[in-house]
Amino acid sequence: MNRNNCHFLLQRCRNIEQLKQTHAQAITQGFHHLQHLACKILNSYTKFNKPIEAYNVFNQIQNPDIISWTSLISLYLYIDRPFEALSVFSKLTFLGLKPDSFSVVGALSACGRSENLGHGKTVHGMIYRHELGSDSIVGNALIDMYSRNGEIKVAQLVFREMDVKDVVTWTSLIHGFIKCNNLNSARKLFDKMSQRNSISWTAMITGYIQGGKPIQALEIFQKMKSEGNDIPTAITIVAVLSGCADIGALDLGQSIHGYIIKTYLNLDVTTKNALMDMYLKSGSLENAEKAFEEILRKDKFSWTTMILGFAVHGNGNRAIQIFSEMLDSGESPNEVTFVAVLSACSHAGLVDEGQRWFKRMRETYVLEPKIEHYGCMVDLLGRSGLVEEAKDLIEKMQVEPDAVIWRSLLSSCLVCGNLELAKMAGEKIIELEPDDDGVYVLLWNMYCSENRWEEALKMRKMMRDRRIKKKPGCSWIEVNSVVHEFLAEDKMHSSREQIYSVLERIAEQMKIDPCLFEFEFD
């Protein structure tokens, strides 16, 4: 085997065994000391997620050059150890090596991931000294680094100064605006792009999902499909399915499922999990189970999502059955799985079952209960009318109870009519979250129902003094694959006149005969 054959064999390696065999042949022939070949072997081990073997290859390189050091930086970035990547970059500069575009890009990526702005500015200074700023990949990395560190104005300045802006440049700044929760600026920049790719579309879709605007995310996806220039990736599909799940857009979710089948899009376990989650949150349990059964290699998320889905829909017994199947399959539960299991017990009123698993969580699986697990147990006891036991559990918790815990107890107390305990829980919530409008309204209603007018007026005055206003309710409905958003007392909807006209007619009809359910719609 000569050097060229060795390069050829490295390119054709499809698994770790082939790579080890080629590496062994290179050692036998004495080629492994050649830096360019050693770097290829190092990068191949990195690709196959073998960091120890890759690091050992680097240690065998005599007098490593800038390419070798950059390969080591890439290794640490690949295994998500940005601090070690920065340390390597510092070492190569200390040794007097002149950084190139690829090494500074690696260093900037490490500064972004570790949110190390100071070191990032130092690298930026090196870029000017070594005249590397004309390279677009360097400019893109600078935009990403400053964006990740919250310096969006500096990122914009870098963007404006770049002579050559490619799709990655624009997308990097869009990511920056999204990270800084500035969706309006991200959208304006997105609309100005003369050319987009699937990453650009996915960035905007994901930004809207993360920003709590699923309708806008779905609109972007529809626009992406209508333009037809870019094929949605699995990442795009996961983001869109997440948006459908958030608002229960079952028709649109099903159309995306059909699109997946029609285009033969390769579904990994993450995409299948997202599909299953969409069906569960849209209330289509039958389709969710079908999607679940089609997952050949179910991971923890697959099992946990299914357990939680049935729990939320009130079928706690089926959720516990799926949990048993998970244990039989050999998959170990984690903290999130136990949140799902305890939630299932709560919805089904399985007090003994919930207490048993809460105990086994610590004793059998060595998982220390967190605030979420205590919250499920408080909810379980409260739903079963055991509010005093719930209060005792809160007092014995190993962690400080938060407003969610007290809110759960408050709801249970209101149902059970334990007003004194409800008052105590409400005061705790106000102490922890004084701007929560919901708790004031709940306590005010409670005092009014008991004719405790003095305390009700006191609660009203407290809301006025603290300028607490009830946030308007929001809901969505999907009609003919179009999602409509409604706010309480909404006057802005395009069909508001027709909507209010129909509501008035319904109200009049109910006054004539409240038991009459048949109604003719135009």
Beta bridge partners, 478, equal 483
Q: Under 8 Å CB-to-CB from 409, ≥6 apart: which residues? A: 378, 382, 387, 390, 391, 394, 421, 425
Rounded Cα gap, residues 326 and 191, in angstroms: 46
- 3-state class (DSSP) for residue 62: coil
Q: What is the pLDDT of residue 324?
A: 93
Q: What is the pLDDT of residue 516?
A: 45
Q: What is the pLDDT of residue 374?
A: 92
User: Taking Cα atoms as reference points, which of 377, 370, 371 lies closest to residue 356?
Assistant: 377
Q: Which residue has the tokens 């390119």?
A: 11
> Which DSSP string corresponds to 248-306?
T-HHHHHHHHHHHHHHT----HHHHHHHHHHHHHTT-HHHHHHHHHT-SS--HHHHHHH
**Taking the complete model, does pTM exceed 0.75, yes or no?**
no
Name the H helices within 79-197: 82-94, 101-113, 117-129, 136-148, 152-161, 167-179, 183-192
Q: For each of the chain's 522 residues, which pLDDT tens digit applies?
A: 555 566 556 666 777 776 777 667 666 555 545 666 777 777 787 877 778 888 888 878 888 889 889 989 988 998 889 999 999 999 999 999 999 999 999 999 999 999 999 999 999 999 989 888 788 899 999 999 999 998 999 999 999 999 888 999 999 999 999 988 899 999 999 999 988 998 999 999 999 988 888 888 888 988 888 887 778 888 888 888 888 888 878 888 888 888 888 776 667 788 888 899 999 988 888 999 998 988 888 999 999 999 999 998 888 889 999 999 999 999 999 999 999 999 999 888 889 999 999 999 989 999 999 999 999 999 999 988 898 999 999 988 888 888 889 888 888 888 877 888 888 888 888 888 777 777 777 777 777 777 778 777 777 777 776 666 665 566 666 665 566 666 666 666 667 777 778 878 887 776 655 444 444 434
Rounded Cα gap, residues 135 and 137, in angstroms: 6
- 3-state class (DSSP) for residue 479: strand
Q: What is the pLDDT of residue 156?
A: 94
Beta strands in 464-520 (DSSP E): 474-479, 482-487
- Tell me the backbone φ, ψ of residue 76, rounded to 5 degrees: -65, -35
Q: What is the pLDDT of residue 357?
A: 94
Distance set, CA 110 to CA 85, 193, 231, 297 (Å)? 6, 28, 30, 33
Rounded Cα gap, residues 357 and 364, in angstroms: 9
Burial pattern 36-61, b for ≥16 Cβ within 10 A else e, equals ebbbbbbbbbbebebeebbbebbeeb
Q: Which residue has the tokens 């709590």?
A: 212
- 3-state class (DSSP) for residue 483: strand
Burial class (CB in 10 A: 0-12, 13-18, 19+), 513: exposed
Q: Under 8 Å CB-to-CB from 271, ≥6 apart: which residues? A: 234, 237, 238, 241, 260, 265
